[in-house]
Chains A and B, each alone.
Chain A
Amino acid sequence: MKEIILIKNGELALKGLNRCTFEDIMIKNIKRRLKDLGKVEIRKAQSAIYIEPKEENFDFEEALERVSLIFGIAAFSRACVCEKNMEDILSKSVEYLADTLKNAKTFKVEAKRSDKKFPLKSPEICRELGGVLLSHFHHLKVDVHNPDVTVNVEIRDFSAYVRAEQIQGAGGLPVGTAGTASILISGGIDSPVAAWTMAKRGLRLNAIHFASPPYTSARAELKVKTLLSKVARYSGSINLAIVPFTDIQDEIANNCPEEYFTLIMRRMMMRIAQKIARDSGSLALITGESLGQVASQTLPALVTTDIVTNMPVLRPLIGMDKEEIITISRKIDAFETSILPYEDCCTVFTPKHPKTRPTVELCEKAEEGLDIDRLVEEAIANTEYTFID
Chain B
Amino acid sequence: MERLIYLDNSATTKPCEKSIECMTACLKNAWGNPSSLHRLGLEAEILLNNARETIAKYIKATPDEIIFTGSGTEANNTAIMTVASKKWGNRVITTEIEHPSVLETVKRLEELGFEVIKLKTDSEGVISLEELKNALNAKTVLVSIMLVNNEIGSVQPIKEASRLVKELSPKAVFHCDAVQGFGKMPINVKDLGVDLLTASGHKVFAPKGIGFLYCKKSVALKPFVTGGGQERGLRSGTESVPLISAFEGAVSSLPDINTALENMKDLNEYARKCFSESGFIKVNSPEDGLPYILNISVTGYRSETLLHFLERKNIFVSSGSACAKGEQSYVLKALGLTQKESDSALRISFSHHNTKEDIDALIDALKEATQNLRRSN
Contacts and interface: CB of A to CB of B under 8 A. Distances in A.
A342 B324 CA distance: 8
Contacts of A117: none
Given A214-B309, A215-B305, A250-B374, 11 more contacts: A214-B307, A214-B308, A215-B308, A215-B373, A217-B304, A249-B374, A345-B302, A345-B304, A348-B374, A348-B377, A350-B377
B323 interface: yes
A253 interface: yes
B377 A345 contact: no
Contacts of A250: 374
Interface string A197-219: 00000000000000001111110
A16 interface: no
B311 interface: yes
B29 interface: no
Contacts of A249: 374
A348 B302 contact: yes
Nearest to B301: A348
Interface string B310-326: 01100000000011100
A256 to B, nearest CB: 13
B188 interface: no
Interface of A: 213-218, 249-250, 253, 341-342, 345, 347-350, 352
Contacts of B311: 214
Given A342-B323, A345-B323, A352 B308 contact: no
Contacts, number: 43
B115 to A, nearest CB: 33
Nearest to B313: A214
B345 to A, nearest CB: 14
A47 B247 CA distance: 65
B375 interface: yes
Contacts of B253: none
B238 interface: no
A348 B376 contact: yes
A217 B303 CA distance: 12
Contacts of A214: 305-309, 311-312, 373
Contact of B308 (A213, A253, A347): A213
A384 to B, nearest CB: 16
B164 to A, nearest CB: 40
Which of the listed residues A216, A342, A345, A347 has the most CB atoms from chain B within 10 Å of its own CB? A345
A214 B308 CA distance: 5
A347 B309 contact: no
A345 B374 contact: no
A253 B374 CA distance: 8
Contact of B312 (A213, A342, A348, A349): A213
B313 to A, nearest CB: 10
A341 B376 contact: no
A215 B377 CA distance: 14
Interface string B366-377: 000000011111
Interface string B196-221: 00000000000000000000000000
Given A214-B311, A214-B312, A345 B324 contact: no
Contacts of A345: 302, 304-305, 323
28 contacts: A213-B312, A214-B306, A214-B307, A214-B308, A214-B309, A214-B311, A214-B312, A215-B308, A215-B373, A215-B374, A217-B304, A218-B308, A249-B374, A253-B374, A341-B322, A341-B324, A342-B323, A345-B302, A345-B304, A347-B302, A347-B376, A347-B377, A348-B374, A348-B375, A348-B376, A349-B374, A350-B377, A352-B377
A349 B191 CA distance: 54
Contacts of B306: 214
Interface residues of B, number: 17
A349 to B, nearest CB: 7
Contacts of B373: 214-215, 348
A313 to B, nearest CB: 29
Nearest to A258: B377
Nearest to A249: B374
Nearest to A342: B323
* 4 smallest beta-carbon distances between A and B, as pairs: A214-B308, A214-B309, A345-B304, A348-B376
Contacts of B374: 215, 249-250, 253, 348-349
Contacts of B302: 345, 347-348
A348 B374 CA distance: 7
Which of the listed residues B308, B322, B323, B373 has the most CB atoms from chain A within 10 Å of its own CB? B308
Contacts of B312: 213-214
Contacts of B309: 214
Given A214-B312, A215-B308, A341 B375 contact: no
Contacts of B307: 214
Contacts of A218: 308
Contact of B323 (A213, A253, A341, A348): A341
Contacts of A215: 305, 308, 373-374
Contact of A217 (B308, B375, B376, B377): B308
A345 B324 CA distance: 10
A343 to B, nearest CB: 9
Contacts of A352: 377
B54 to A, nearest CB: 38
A3 B224 CA distance: 50
Nearest to B376: A348
A213 B311 CA distance: 10
Which of the listed residues A214, A218, A347 has the most CB atoms from chain B within 10 Å of its own CB? A214
A348 B309 CA distance: 14
A216 B308 CA distance: 8
B319 to A, nearest CB: 10
A245 to B, nearest CB: 13
A347 B302 CA distance: 10
A350 B309 CA distance: 19
Contacts of A216: 308
A253 B375 CA distance: 11
A352 B309 CA distance: 24
Contacts of B322: 341
Nearest to B372: A250
A210 to B, nearest CB: 16
Which of the listed residues B312, B322, B377 has the most CB atoms from chain A within 10 Å of its own CB? B377
Contacts of B324: 341
Contacts of A341: 322-324
B86 to A, nearest CB: 38
Contacts of B376: 347-348
Nearest to B306: A214
A297 B76 CA distance: 49
Nearest to B369: A214
Nearest to B375: A348
A144 B74 CA distance: 59
Nearest to A341: B324
Contacts of A347: 302, 376-377
Nearest to A213: B308
A341 B304 CA distance: 12
